[in-house]
Structures are given as C-alpha cells and as structure tokens.
C-alpha cells in the first residue's frame, strides 16, 4: 500500500537534539512560531530532515545566517537541509513559521476551542506547529516563551519568568515533541498542594473556563489519590513543582499526558452530583489516574517509535485499572474490564481491523489507538504479572524504571526486564505482542481412579495477513470445587505452551472445575457445560469473576436459544432468583449479574458459533428475557427497589453507587410491568444525574420517555456535557424501528453542533450503539453513518476514522446487509480528497 510505514525500516535519527527554544506570538489567524533547535550530528554526511505540515515558512537559518533556496528542499511533509549546507559539529537551526489556529478544525497541532488556544501533539501533531524531527525517539529539553493577550499562558515544566502579556516555561525533563503542550486562555484554577514522599512541594491546578470552577473538586481529589497511589503501588513520585491540568470542550480523545500539563476533554474533568453520573465520576477518576501515571510510563520512559505504542498505553491502562480496583471498586473492577475487553477487543480481533498489540506496519498511526493496543496491551501486562508473581512484577518494574529512565524504548526492552528478573525465556510469550487474534481454548476433562485430568487444546483463527498461528504461552488460573461447593484445589496457575496439553490432579471425587479464574488470559474458553453446572458455579464459585462468568454464559445461551423461539431456561430464572435473595452479595456484583449480555455481544457470540445473527430477533429475545425475569421475580425486585434507596446527600463512592446501580437494574425490569410508574416517580424526585438519567434512559427504552425527555432537555439546554448525554440516549435507547429517523431528526436540531467531537459522537455513536436500529433492514442506518463520515472527514479526519469502526462487524450479518455495508464503504473510499485516516480505515474495513 502506498505510504505504508514498516517497523523493520526503523533507523535512529542521525542528530542529537538537546535543547529547544520556542517562542509563540499568539494570534488566531496568524500565530508566529520561532524555533531554535540545538543539533549535534551523530556521524558524518547526514542531511537534516525535519517534519512540517501546513506551515508557512517565514525564515530559516543556521547559526545566525539565512539559508539560500539551494541549501534545502521543502515538500508538503517537511524540509530537508542538504548535508553540504550544514556546518561541521554542533549548530543551531532557527526557523520562523506562521500558522492559523482558528482554521484548525482537525484539533491536531495548535487550535482554538471556545476562545482558548490549546494543543494536541500526539501522535504527529507537533509538525503542524513548527519544523521538527517529530518522532518519539528524539528527546530534548524545551524552553518556551508565550506572548499573547490572554491572562493564563501555560506550557510544560516549571514556570519561569512572566510579565504582562508573556510567560516563560522550562521543562527540565527531556521529552519527545508529542508531549509538548501550550494553553492560553481566560481560565480559572481550582488549586491544591501535594508533597511527595521525598518532600517535593507541588502546586496542583485544574484549569477551566469561568463558570465551570464549581465542578472541579472531584478531579482535584482524584489527582491527589493518583499521586498517593503511584507512590505506594509503584514507588513513583512526581518530578516538577507544578502539575497543571486543563479542561477543553473540543478534543478528539479522552485526555492527553503532556508533561506537567495534561489536557483533558472537559467531560473527563467536570462533575457535580446534578450533572454527572456515577459512571462519569468513575471514569474521571480513572482517566485522571491514567494520565498522571503516564508521567512515568510514557513521559519519563517513552516509546522508540509508534509501533511500540502499547509499551506506554498497555502498561498505563493496566496501572489505571489496578488503581480503580484498589481505591474504588474492588473485585468487580475485574468483571468490568474483562467484559469490556471481550465485547470490544474480541470484536476487533474477529473482524477486518484485527492487528497485533504491536503492529508492524501502518499508514496513519492515529488509526492504531485501539482497544487492542490499549486494553489487550493491559491484559498482556496482567499475564506477565501472573507469571512473575506480585513480588517478581514489582522487581521487574523497578528494574524497568532504573534501567530505562530517560529513554525511548521497545517492547523487547520491556520483556527483557521480566526475563532478567525471573530468569524465564519469554520468546514464546512475546507472540502476544506480535501476533493478532484471540486464541480459542477447547477444554475436555476425564475422571478415573481418583485422578482428574483436564486437557486443553488451543487454536487461533486467522486474521488479516496472518493465516498460520503458532501456539501461545497461556497462563490458566484453575480451581476445583467439590459438589458441596468447597474448594478442593485452591487457585493454581497452569502454564500452557503447547498446542495440546493435559494437567492431572488427585482428588477423591469428580470435581467441578473453575477455569480461567479472574480471566487470567484473554482467550475464548470453549467447554461443553450443562446449564446445571453453570448454575452451580454461579451459586458457589469462590472466584468472583468466574461466578459472574457462569451466570453470563447461562444468560447468553438462553438468549441465543430464544432468538430461534425457545422459552427462557428455568435454570437461569431460578439462578437469578437465588442471586436476588442472597444478601451476602455486594449490590454492585448482583447488578453485574443481572445485566444481560448486550445485543452486539450476542451477535458476536452467534457469529463465533457459526451462525448468522438477526438483530431484530436478538433485540426481541433480550426484551422477552427481561420481561420473564421481571414477571418471575416481581415481588423480590420491588422489595429490593425499595430497600436500596440511598438517602441523604449524594456521594460518588463505590458503596452508594453500587446500590444505585442495582436499584436502577431492578427499575429497568420493573418498568416492564408497572407502566413506568416507578421510573417516572424517580425521574421527578431525583436530585442527582445518576438517577435522573437512569430513569430517563429506562423510560425512553420502554417507549414512555416523551415527557421526561422534554423536561430534561429544557432543564439542561445550556449545559454542553449534559446535552451530549441527552443526544446519546435519545438515539441509543430509542426503540430500534425509529432509531434512524430519530437520529435524522436530531441531526437537524439547532443544538447539534457536529463539529464538536463529543456532540458528533453522542448522536452518530448513539445510533451505532443501538444495535438493531443501526442494522435496520433497509440499510438506512448504514447510509446515515456513511453520510456523516464523509461530511466530517474534511473537518476532522481523526474522529471520522475512529467512528468508521462501527462497520467492522459487517461480515457477521446476512448477505443483504453485507452487500449494503460494502456499498457504503465503497462509496466512502471513492470520495474525492479523502483523508489518509479514513481512506486507510475504509480500505482495511473492506478487507
């Protein structure tokens, strides 16, 4: 493919860049950027290549002398100074360019959001700011001067001198350009202080637009909790005298870990009980943690090249997941993370976009910020931790920080610290990084003469470009239970390395195995199991994840049978009754058990089992099972609903949030029977967004939401973030037969500001989240998505490309739907002037 970049082509940059001086003269349509780069050639005879896009070159010189046109070559992607024009030894290159932040709608580089200047440089946005070796293995110290008439002028590092209309910043830590940031605006801070274990005093500031400062307390508290946790759990301390965090309304992603100056999508900062749900609070804390943890895993130790992205992302996601488990959710966190991985990452592996956590080629790196790189990357770190043990893991991480601080590293460097600490050979394990696809693990068992034997057989379905798959090194956590539900074998780690392998245990009677405890490896477990055995594990398994998992597979099996006309399985309904009656269980755990597998997940399961999913039948089956649960257990659900009411002022803590979660799950079921009485009452009385929005979603889903929806909109029309929720739920929860028409209607709404990524994702993503609505038989959902991708692409290619992944499941469906999706994808690929982002995606999607 043209323009494809290969890992195997990596070569080091031929110059060292130790110091960078940048001056910004801010103006919306004509910002000047002056850069002085202090460069030293590593060898002889190399020409100097700098990346640069959409830059107007004003001047270019070396050591105070202007370059002549014959000295360099400028193209659309950069500038090359010929070797002959370079002095011997070290020199300073000086450039001045002009850029137009107010015309930057792609939100990459320097752009404007609501009157404020901000930057987004990962992955390759810095080249839209100035000519520079824009690659992560070039690390330099930055000194920045900002001139502009806005009151707050921020960049990375520690504050330097400042005066009316200007400010200087010094970052003592060498960093790649993708971690550069600048913010200028009329902003107010919510501030705090933190003293590190070694006694460094740090000022903490959460910067927002005036009017938003009353919704920053939780973000600040989360930041402090993150700093404490990283000192405790990883021995990592903060390393600057200030940590600034800024909320912006227009942002393509969640947040960004720029050194000492994190920039966040405002939805991941701003929270008050009236405007944010329990889930929002949880995500804010997790993402604040994530970006903060990047300071060590990302900033201090960065990636050699973008193929190594999961070196920082997989590890940092693993760290944020551990943080949330430790400070908030406890064991149910693992259920949530494993469930997300299976619905989203397994789905990616099953389709045309499947790729290894460390890919070996790409056209547009922005297209590789994926669930595979992030979430599967985190699972791999989790497996390493299981193999090394808690203590071995800590030693490996200590060695990683010791050995590689200040470096740009590879996955090989990372694996090597585990090899050195544990003495293991991880060459087979490395396949988890370099090979794509989800291994399937077939399990059979036998019992004879007091010996119980489990036999595992692994195979990985082919993925694009990878037909043959070698066996992986799979850690399988196993426990055995007797028929009274007692553990006869507590959790053991089996290590599978062959294609087929057996493990035997001496036990007095045939046990019930609990396999892949805590979801010890990201694989699909295939095992013939009776509904009775699943119900037994749901009642007795001593491993929380597998207990939930047993109920999950029971629900899945029942639902799949129901899509072809079966009645709800009595074993399942009975098991749910037992759960509801068990007051030793945590509400959050019961809520997770009550939640039925989503429609997309069911479609994935049907396809994986060789069938063709019918979206309408899936939707109907899910409704019917909910109704059956409600009818069978009405009394218990109603009693629970009353008992779970959380009184007093709102707190986002895990315990009340767990109660609210279970209470809303009960409400959703009860609404199948009570005509919406309870949901309407809750909507009217709610004093927090969790219950207000929860009740609204339930009403809309039941087709009873008109009045509540209107009231909600009237109340919140001036709050952007809440209005995003409204757009989303209006379409996502809408009965499928009217989802596309509702989406079309809302796309005409004056409040639909499609250039704002959050609003775009709310509406268009709302439709794709409505499985049966998006897959409407007439193809209208597909056409709607394609129209909007084509419209958004010239403005914001990153967000357009990201949203195109909704098409990745097309091979699952019947021939007519497949044909319709292929036509839409073809229409996209044939659009003139398509971005590299969307063009790569649509071509890969077509396969």
Is 299 among the residues that bind ligand PHE (CB under 6 A)? Answer: no
Dist. CA 778–CA 793, nearest whole Å: 25
Q: CB-wise, 119 or 316, nearer to Zn ion? A: 316
Dist. CA 29–CA 147, nearest whole Å: 15
Contact 296, 237 (CB under 8 A): no
Query: Edge-to-edge, what's the strand order for the sheet holding 512-515?
Result: 487-496, 474-481, 512-515
> Exactly one of 291, 375, 379, 808 is catalytic; which is it?
291
Q: CB-wise, 247 or 478, nearer to Zn ion? A: 247
Is 120 among the residues that bind ligand PHE (CB under 6 A)? Answer: yes
Contact 178, 253 (CB under 8 A): no
Piece in contact with ligand PHE (CB under 6 A), picked from 115-123, 343-351, 519-527, 697-705: 115-123
**Minimum Å distance from CB 371 to ligand PHE?**
12
Is 365 among the residues that bind ligand PHE (CB under 6 A)? Answer: no
Q: How many CB atoms lie within 10 A of CB 445?
A: 17
**Minimum Å distance from CB 386 to ligand PHE?**
24
Interface map 302-341 toward Zn ion (x if CB under 5 A): -----------x--x-------------------------
Select the binding partner of residue 122 from Zn ion, ligand PHE, none (C-beta < 5 to 8 A, by kind): ligand PHE
Is 249 among the residues that bind ligand PHE (CB under 6 A)? Answer: no
Two tokens at 781? 């959902």
Q: How many CB atoms lie within 10 A of CB 495?
A: 14
Sign of CA dihedral 370, 372, 375, 377: negative
Piece in contact with ligand PHE (CB under 6 A), picked from 253-261, 383-391, 482-490, 768-776: 253-261
* 100, burial (CB in 10 Å: exposed 0-12, middle 13-18, buried 19+): middle
**What Å distances lie between residue 6 and 53, 85, 433, 452, CA to CA?**
21, 30, 16, 48
Measured in degrees and rounded to the nearest 5, phi and psi for residue 487 equal -75, 120
Dist. CA 28–CA 629, nearest whole Å: 58
Is 250 among the residues that bind ligand PHE (CB under 6 A)? Answer: no
Is 96 among the residues that bind ligand PHE (CB under 6 A)? Answer: no
**Minimum Å distance from CB 290 to Zn ion?**
6
Is 253 among the residues that bind ligand PHE (CB under 6 A)? Answer: yes
**Minimum Å distance from CB 364 to ligand PHE?**
12
Applying CB under 6 A, among 96, 137, 250, 257 the residue interacting with ligand PHE is 257
Q: Where are the alpha helices (DSSP H) in 180-308?
A: 217-234, 278-293
Select the binding partner of residue 543 from Zn ion, ligand PHE, none (C-beta < 5 to 8 A, by kind): none
Interface map 301-340 toward ligand PHE (x if CB under 6 A): ------------x---------------------------
Helix%, strand%, coil% for the chain, nearest 5: 45, 20, 30
Is 110 among the residues that bind ligand PHE (CB under 6 A)? Answer: no
Q: Is the previous residue joined to 713 through a cis bond, with omega within 30 degrees of 0?
A: no
Applying CB under 6 A, among 139, 246, 256, 800 the residue interacting with ligand PHE is 256
Two tokens at 242? 């200030």
Q: To 5 degrees, how large is the angle CA 297–CA 300–CA 301?
A: 60
Annotation says 730 is catalytic: no
According to DSSP, the residues that pair with 66 across neighbouring strands are 61
CA 193 to chain centre: 29
Is 800 among the residues that bind ligand PHE (CB under 6 A)? Answer: no
Longest dimension (CA), the chain: 89
Applying CB under 6 A, among 291, 320, 349, 586 the residue interacting with ligand PHE is 291
**Minimum Å distance from CB 176 to ligand PHE?**
12
Q: CB-wise, 143 or 312, nearer to Zn ion? A: 312
Contact 219, 246 (CB under 8 A): no
Is 95 among the residues that bind ligand PHE (CB under 6 A)? Answer: no
Residues in the chain: 847
State the helix-helix crossing angle for 531-540 and 544-562, rounded to 10 degrees.
150
Piece in contact with ligand PHE (CB under 6 A), picked from 26-34, 249-257, 400-408, 734-742: 249-257
Interface map 49-78 toward ligand PHE (x if CB under 6 A): ------------------------------
Dist. CA 42–CA 137, nearest whole Å: 14
Applying CB under 6 A, among 128, 209, 290, 812 the residue interacting with ligand PHE is 290
Contact 131, 95 (CB under 8 A): yes
Q: CB-wise, 124 or 313, nearer to Zn ion? A: 313
Residue with nearest beta carbon to ligand PHE: 253
**Minimum Å distance from CB 262 to Zn ion?**
11
Dist. CA 284–CA 289, nearest whole Å: 8
Measured in degrees and rounded to the nearest 5, phi and psi for residue 382 equal -60, -40
Select the binding partner of residue 255 from ligand PHE, Zn ion, none (C-beta < 5 to 8 A, by kind): ligand PHE
Chain residues that interact with Zn ion, rule: CB under 5 A? 313, 316
> Among all residues, which ones are annotated catalytic?
291
Chain residues that interact with ligand PHE, rule: CB under 6 A? 120, 122-123, 253, 255-257, 290-291, 313, 369
């Amino acid at each position: 493919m043209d323009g494809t970049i290969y890992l195997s082509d990596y070569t080091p940059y031929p110059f060292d860049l130790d110091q960078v001086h940048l001056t910004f003269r801010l103006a919306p349509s004509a910002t000047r950027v002056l850069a002085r780069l202090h460069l030293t050639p590593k060898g002889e005879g190399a020409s100097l290549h700098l990346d640069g896009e959409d830059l107007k070159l004003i001047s270019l010189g070396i050591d105070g002398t202007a370059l002549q046109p014959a000295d360099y070559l400028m193209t659309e992607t950069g500038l090359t100074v010929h070797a002959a024009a370079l002095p011997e030894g070290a020199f300073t290159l000086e450039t001045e360019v002009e850029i137009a932040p107010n015309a930057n709608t792609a939100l990459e580089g320097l752009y404007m959001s609501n009157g404020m200047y901000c930057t987004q440089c990962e992955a390759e946005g810095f080249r839209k700011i100035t000519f520079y070796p824009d690659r992560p293995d070039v690390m330099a110290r930055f000194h920045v001067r900002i001139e502009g008439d806005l009151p707050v002028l921020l960049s990375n590092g520690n504050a330097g001198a400042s005066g009316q209309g200007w400010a200087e910043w010094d970052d003592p830590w060498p960093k790649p350009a993708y971690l550069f940031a600048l913010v200028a605006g009329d902003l107010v801070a919510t501030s705090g202080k933190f003293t590190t274990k070694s006694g460094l005093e740090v000022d903490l500031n959460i910067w927002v637009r005036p009017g938003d400062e009353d919704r920053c307390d939780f973000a600040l508290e989360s930041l402090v909790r993150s700093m404490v946790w990283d000192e405790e759990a990883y021995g990592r301390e903060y390393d600057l005298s200030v940590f600034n965090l800024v909320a912006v309304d227009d942002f393509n992603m969640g947040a960004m870990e720029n050194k000492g100056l994190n920039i966040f999508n405002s939805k991941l900062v701003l929270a008050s009980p009236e405007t944010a749900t329990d889930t929002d609070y949880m995500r804010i804390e997790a993402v604040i943690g994530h970006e903060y943890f990047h300071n060590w895993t990302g900033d201090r130790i960065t990636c050699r090249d973008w193929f190594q992205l999961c070196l920082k992302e997989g590890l940092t996601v693993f760290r944020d997941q551990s943080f949330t488990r430790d400070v908030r959710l406890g064991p149910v966190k693992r259920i949530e993370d494993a469930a997300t991985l299976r619905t989203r990452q397994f789905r990616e592996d099953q389709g045309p976009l499947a790729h290894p956590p460390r890919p070996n080629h790409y056209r547009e790196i922005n297209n590789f910020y994926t669930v595979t790189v992030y979430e599967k990357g985190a699972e791999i770190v989790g497996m390493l931790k299981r193999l090394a043990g808690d203590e071995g893991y800590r030693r490996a991480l200590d060695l990683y920080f010791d050995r590689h601080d200040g470096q740009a590293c590879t996955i090989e460097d990372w694996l090597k610290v585990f090899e050195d600490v544990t003495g293991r050979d991880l060459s087979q394990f490395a396949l988890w990084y370099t090979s794509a696809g989800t291994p399937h693990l077939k399990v059979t068992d036998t019992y004879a003469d007091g010996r119980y034997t489990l036999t595992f057989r692994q195979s990985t379905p082919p993925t694009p470009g990878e037909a043959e798959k070698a066996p992986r090194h799979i850690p399988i956590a196993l426990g055995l239970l007797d028929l009274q539900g007692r553990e006869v074998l507590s959790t053991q780690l089996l290590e599978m390395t062959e294609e087929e392998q057996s493990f035997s245990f001496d036990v007095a009677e045939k046990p019930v195995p609990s396999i892949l405890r805590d979801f010890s490896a990201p694989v699909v477990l295939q095992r013939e199991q009776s509904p009775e055995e699943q119900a037994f594990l749901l009642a007795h398994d001593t491993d929380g994840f597998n207990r939930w998992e047993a109920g999950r597979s029971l629900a899945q099996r029942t639902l799949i049978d129901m899509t072809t006309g079966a009645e709800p399985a009595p074993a399942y309904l009975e098991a749910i009754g037992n759960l509801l009656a068990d007051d030793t269980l945590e509400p959050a755990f019961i809520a997770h058990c009550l939640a039925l597998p989503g429609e997309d997940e069911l479609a994935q399961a049907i396809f994986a089992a060789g069938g063709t999913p019918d979206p309408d039948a899936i939707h109907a089956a899910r409704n019917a099972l909910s109704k059956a649960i409600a009818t069978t257990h009405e009394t218990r659900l109603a009693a629970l609903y009353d008992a779970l009411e959380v009184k007093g002022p709102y707190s986002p803590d895990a315990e009340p949030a767990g109660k609210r979660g279970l209470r809303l799950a009960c409400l959703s079921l009860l609404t199948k029977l009570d005509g919406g009485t309870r949901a309407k009452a809750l909507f009217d009385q709610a004093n927090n967004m969790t219950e207000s929005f929860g009740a609204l979603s339930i009403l809309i889903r039941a087709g009873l939401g008109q009045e509540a929806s209107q009231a909600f909109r009237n109340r919140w029309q001036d709050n952007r973030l809440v209005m995003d929720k409204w757009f989303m739920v209006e379409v996502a929860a809408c009965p499928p037969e009217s989802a596309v028409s509702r989406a079309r209607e809302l796309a005409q709404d004056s409040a639909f500001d499609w250039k704002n990524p959050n609003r775009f994702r709310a509406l268009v993503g709302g439709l794709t989240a409505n499985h049966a609505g998006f897959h409407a038989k007439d193809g209208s959902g597909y056409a709607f998505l394609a129209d909007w991708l084509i419209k958004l692409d010239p403005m914001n290619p990153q967000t357009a490309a990201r949203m195109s992944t909704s098409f990745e499941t097309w091979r699952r469906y019947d021939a007519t739907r497949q044909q319709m999706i292929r036509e839409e994808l073809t229409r996209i690929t044939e659009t003139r002037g398509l971005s590299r982002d969307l063009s790569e995606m649509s071509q890969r999607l077509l396969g």
